[in-house]
Structure 1
Amino acid sequence: MSLRLSTVILPHHRWHEGGRSAWQRAEQLGFHTAYTYDHLSWRVPFRDGPWFGAVPTLTAAAVVTERMRLGTLVTSPNFRHPVTLAKELISLDDISGGRITLGVGAGGSGFDATALGREPWTPRERADRFAEFVPLLDRLLTEDEVSYQGDFYSAHQARNIPGCVQRPRLPFAIAATGPRGLRLAAQHGQAWVTTGDPKLYENGTPEQSVQAIRGQAEKLADACAAIGRDGTELDKILLTGFTPDRARPLESLDAFVDFAGRHRELGFTEIVIHWPIPGTVFACDQKVFEQIAMEAAAQLG
């Protein structure tokens, strides 16, 4: 099974002070996709520094690249509404010439959860909203006109002509580990995203992490089987940096090939690594990072 290598570029540089060059360099290095986070602000140390919007950043990236796919990893209902998001995604898909993937998840309890002046939703409330958000967004991206009245979201004659360049719509990469989210991935996803088991981040071992991720993949397969879908139809994406390995896979080409190979055996089709950011948890030797980008995929077959 071939394995694609992608990157995520955090939107913390001004476009003309490192932002543009990073996206262009990512394409030169041969990354399959370059994603960015879709937050209003993020955790420390990024909380108190520059942070730009995902959709404008991806629009700019679409203009200065030609082949590489682009996307969010991930968008969530924390501050997004399906009607307005659909219009932005259709526009972005058009500008990029059909190169957009929407990574989407239920969101968390971080700064985005309170930026609009409300109390953060409970895990159940997030799951409830996500279960309504994804199917409505699916309809908005595939139908010319949508009217809908739900518990959390509504649409009244929302028009989205001409629709996406990609047909029937741009692909969804759904981040999920719980049963309800995995069902959404099975029903609406073209890909599934995981960062591993957060309970293992501090004190777990790499072996425990692999076992936990294997369990998540098996539950996804069960969710697909329950609706008569072949689970192998879904791409499986691992966003790295949040497993007990921390940054060790990026210490050398050999370390990364070993890490990626173990996850390819679990059925993963895409590994995403963070663009190096000195002085943070995403610090990495740029030369090693670029060597991994250019050589790892070939070694992994």
Structure 2
Amino acid sequence: MRLSTVILPVRRWSEGGREQWVRAEELGFHTAYTYDHLSWRVPFRDGPWFGAVPTLTGAAMVTERVRLGTLVTSPNFRHPVTLAKDLLTLDDLSDGRITLGIGAGGSGFDATALGQEPWTPRERADRFGEFVPLIDRLLTEESVSHRGTHYSADEVRNIPGCVQRPRLPFAVAATGPRGMKVAARHGQGWVTTGDPKIFETGTPEQSVEAVRTQISKLGTACETVGRDVAGVEKILLTGFTPDEGRPMESLGSFVDFAGKYFALGIDEIVIHAPIPDTIFAAEEKVFEQIATEAMAQLRQS
């Protein structure tokens, strides 16, 4: 069982941004992630929002032990060739502490930021199915050429390769069958936020059952590629299940919440660093208490 956090890139580095990453390490989180968007949903859409790669570079420079990563990167505005070079560099700067959280993307602001029409779910799945294997090759082979339907690479070099061997780990966000297959083939981890269809109208009990079903489907996908699902780390990003924010109200509430998902086979739970007046609002003292005490209580239960 592991506990991690995600720090939204909404603070200037000189106005609390740096301190959040340092504090995440001090609190003992396993990994500190950030979102990889050009901008995000309201109310963040019209406020400060910084780039994931420079933010993680800064975080690598002010921490020593905590793992760092994206949760998640998508093809919406990324290209495998340039992303691979950034990841290679981040892995070097952090001395092998980077995890790539990666998903197919959605229909939000990033989907049209480069002037393109938003892709359909099928188009996103098609691109994702080409994007992830190419990133895999770019981070493990010294020279890569590729002519695909959506992406190309021409004798791309990524020397000397990642600090982590054979490459930095992928945590693949997926709920559908095609995404699950990508996770089974290429993911060291799998990421879920629960079932988005029941976020507004479902119950906590329904959410637990939905995640149980997703884990079962991941197992089926792993079987098709001859892989043991036990070897895939299962990560839950919180804040998007129908629990009305209650898990972050107190240490006890979080322990009750987390215990149900750990019992399903979830290996890592990720909580958001508090942001006042948003869906991620929480008392800072409760957040820190969860960080320092929750895992001990869960292991004893």
TMscore range, shorter length: over 0.9
Match of 1:34 in 2: 32
2:230 alignment counterpart: 232
Query: Partners in 1 of 2:42 and 2:241 — Cα distance?
Result: 19
Q: Give the equivalent residue in structure 2 for 1:181.
A: 179
2:217 equivalent in structure 1: 219
The secondary structure found in structure 2 opposite 1:193 is strand
**Cα distance in structure 1, aligned partners of 2:245 and 2:28:** 21
Separation of aligned partners in 2, 1:262 and 1:246: 16
SS of structure 1 residue aligned to 2:201: coil
Counterpart position of 2:92: 94
Residue 296 of structure 1 aligns with which residue? 294
| Shift of residue 82, structure 1, vs aligned partner | 0.3
Q: Root-mean-square deviation (CA), in Å? A: 0.5
Specify the alignment match of 2:10 in structure 1: 12
| Equivalent-residue separation in structure 1 for 2:52 and 2:217 (angstroms) | 31
Aligned match of 1:285: 283
In the alignment, structure 1 residue 244 sits paired with structure 2 residue 242: yes
Distance 2:74 2:251 in 1: 33
Moved over 2 A (4+): none
Correspondence for 2:68 = 70
- 1:225 positional shift: 1.0
* 1:125 aligned partner: 123
- Corresponding position of 1:153: 151
Code of the aligned partner of 1:21:
E
Q: Could you list the per-position Cα deviations for residues 140-177 of structure 1 after superposition, in whole angstroms to 9, with x for gaps in the alignment?
A: 00000000000000000000000100000000000000
Instruction: Output one character per residue of 1:241-275: Cα deviation in whole Å (capped at 9) or x when no partner.
Output: 00001311011111111111100111010000000
Quote how far apart the aligned CAs of 1:88 are.
Answer: 0.3
Equivalent residue, structure 1, for 2:251: 253
Q: For 1:49-81, what per-residue CA distance to the aligned partner results, in whole angstroms no more than 9, with x for missing partners?
A: 110000000000000000000000000000000
Which consecutive residues of structure 2, in runs of 5 or more, have no partner in the other structure?
Answer: none
Partner residue in 2 for 1:111: 109
Q: Return the alpha-carbon distance in structure 1 between the equivalents of residues 249 and 147 of structure 2.
A: 51
Q: Give the secondary structure class of the aligned counterpart of 1:187.
A: helix
Task: Find the residue that maps to 1:296 and give its secondary structure.
Answer: helix
Percent identity at matched positions? 76
Per the TM alignment, residue 97 of structure 1 is displaced from its structure 2 partner at its CA by 0.3
In structure 2, which of residues 264, 268, 271 is the aligned counterpart of residue 270 of structure 1?
A: 268
What SS does the corresponding residue of 1:265 show, helix, strand or coil? Answer: helix
Which residue type is aligned with residue 120 of structure 2? T
- Give the aligned length: 299
Provide, for residues 17-58 of structure 1, a one-character-per-residue CA deviation record: whole Å limited to 9, x for no partner: 010000000100000000000000000000001100000000
